[in-house]
Amino acid sequence: MTRNADNTQCGFVSILGLPNAGKSTLLNTMVGSKISIVSHKVQTTRSRVLGILAEGQTQIILMDTPGVFAPKKTLEKAMVSAALDTIAEADIIMHLVDASMKDAVERNKFLSEKLPGNKKCILILNKIDQVKKETLLELTKALHEQFDYSETFMISALKDKGLDALLAYLGQNLPAGPWLFPEDQMTDMPMRMLAAEITREKIFERLHQELPYSIFVETQNWENFDNGSVKIDQVIYVERDSQKGIVLGKGGRTIKEIGQHVRLELQDILGCPVHIKIFVKAQSNWAERSENYSLMGLNFPV
C-alpha cells in the first residue's frame, strides 16, 4: 500500500468492557496476529496492550484493557483503574458488550456510568453468532438508555463478522495527523512481556481446573545468539508450595509440556529457534505486593 504522508490520520482507540466480553479476541482479530492473551479464564489481561493496524490512510492504535466491573480487592482495583485510565488517552472509546451474557444491561452499568460525554463512544455488541436478532435489538435499545452512544456495531470478534464496518468507521473518525508507529509494527508490548503472556496462556490452557488465576510469569533473561537462536529464562510464580507441584506435574512432565508449547509458539512469532527454561517458585501474597504491579506494567499505590 502506498501512503501519502501529507494526508494521514492516526489515533488511539480504547477497548473497554466486562471481563470475557471478547476484548482481546477483537484486538487479535483486527490486528491479525495473536498479541493479546485470550483465555476463558476471566481477568487475564493485566496491563494495557497495544495493537496497531492500518485502514487506508489511517493508523489505528487499539488499546486492549483489563475488564471493567465494580472492583473489591486490591488487584481488581488496580486493573480496573488501568482500564479506565485509557479513556483519557483515547480518541474513540469502544464499549464492548457480550450480547450472549445474561443481565448484560445491568452488569454493564458500572462502565456506562464511567464513559465520557465529550468523546466518541461507540457500542459494540459482540458474540452475535450466539444471539437471536430480537435479543440484539432489545439489548441495543436498553443499553442506549444507559448511555448515548455515537454509533452501534454488531460483530463476532471470534468469527470475524461485522468488522469491516467497524474498521471503516475507525478509519474515517480518527483525527488527522502523522502515524505514530512504523508501518510494520503490530504492538508496543516488549518481547519479554509477550513471551511471559504466552506462557501464562499455556498454563491456563493446561491447568485451568486446578489453578486459580493468581499466577504470574516473568521473563528474567533473554539472549540473542549470533547463529540466530534465542535463549529465554522464565519464572512462574505461584502463591503456595502446593501449587508448585501442580505446575511441575509428575516428574516435571506438565512443565515440560507447557514449555514445548511455549517454545513452538515463540518460534512461530520470532521466526528463529528458541530455547526456553522455565522455573517455578512459590511466593505467597504476591498479589498484595506493590512491587509486582510495576512488573505487570501497572502503577498503583497500594
Ligand X SMILES: Nc1nc2c(ncn2[C@@H]2O[C@H](COP(=O)(O)OP(=O)(O)O)[C@@H](O)[C@H]2O)c(=O)[nH]1
Residues that bind Mg ion (CB under 5 A): 23-24, 45
Question: 468523546: which residue's cell?
Answer: 119
Contact between residue 239 and residue 285 where contact means Cβ atoms under 8 Å apart? yes
Compare residues 24 and 58 and give the one whose CB is closer to Mg ion.
Answer: 24
Compare residues 230 and 298 and give the one whose CB is closer to Mg ion.
Answer: 298
Candidate list 11, 51, 67, 259; residue touching ligand X; CB under 6 A: 67
Count of Cβ atoms closer than 10 Å to residue 178 Cβ: 10
> Can residue 22 be called a binding residue for ligand X (CB under 6 A)?
yes
Compare residues 68 and 174 and give the one whose CB is closer to ligand X.
Answer: 68
> Can residue 20 be called a binding residue for ligand X (CB under 6 A)?
yes
Task: Give the separation between CA 83 and CA 96, rounded to whole angstroms.
Answer: 13
> Can residue 39 be called a binding residue for ligand X (CB under 6 A)?
yes
Question: Is 254 strand, coil or helix?
Answer: helix
Candidate list 21, 61, 143, 193; residue touching ligand X; CB under 6 A: 21
Ramachandran class of 46: left when φ > 0, alpha when ψ lies in -120 to 50, beta otherwise: alpha
> Can residue 129 be called a binding residue for ligand X (CB under 6 A)?
yes
- What separation, in Å, do the N-terminal and C-terminal C-alpha atoms of the chain show? 47
Number of residues binding to ligand X, judged by CB under 6 A: 21
> Can residue 38 be called a binding residue for ligand X (CB under 6 A)?
yes
Query: What pairing do the DSSP bridges indicate for beta strands 49-55 and 58-64?
Result: antiparallel
> Can residue 108 be called a binding residue for ligand X (CB under 6 A)?
no
Partners of 14 in beta bridges: 63, 93
Candidate list 9, 59, 86, 126; residue touching ligand X; CB under 6 A: 126
Dmax over Cα atoms in the chain, in whole Å?
A: 61
Closest CA to 158 of 17, 13, 40, 66: 40
> Can residue 25 be called a binding residue for ligand X (CB under 6 A)?
yes
Candidate list 2, 4, 40, 103; residue touching ligand X; CB under 6 A: 40
> Can residue 135 be called a binding residue for ligand X (CB under 6 A)?
no
| Least distance (Å) between residue 98 CB and ligand X | 7
Ramachandran class of 195: left when φ > 0, alpha when ψ lies in -120 to 50, beta otherwise: alpha
Residue span 145-164 as binding mask against ligand X, x where in contact by CB under 6 A, dash where not: -----------xxxx-----
Contact of residue 199 among ligand X, Mg ion, none (CB under 5-8 Å per partner type): none
Contact of residue 63 among ligand X, Mg ion, none (CB under 5-8 Å per partner type): none
Nearest residue by C-beta to ligand X?
Answer: 22
Burial label, 5 (beta-carbon count in 10 A; 0-12, 13-18, 19+): exposed
Closest CA to 157 of 277, 8, 31: 31
Contact of residue 74 among Mg ion, ligand X, none (CB under 5-8 Å per partner type): none
Compare residues 159 and 281 and give the one whose CB is closer to ligand X.
Answer: 159
| Least distance (Å) between residue 44 CB and ligand X | 6
Question: Is 49 strand, coil or helix?
Answer: strand
Count of Cβ atoms closer than 10 Å to residue 182 Cβ: 8
Binding site for ligand X (CB under 6 A): 17, 19-25, 38-40, 45, 67, 126-127, 129-130, 156-159
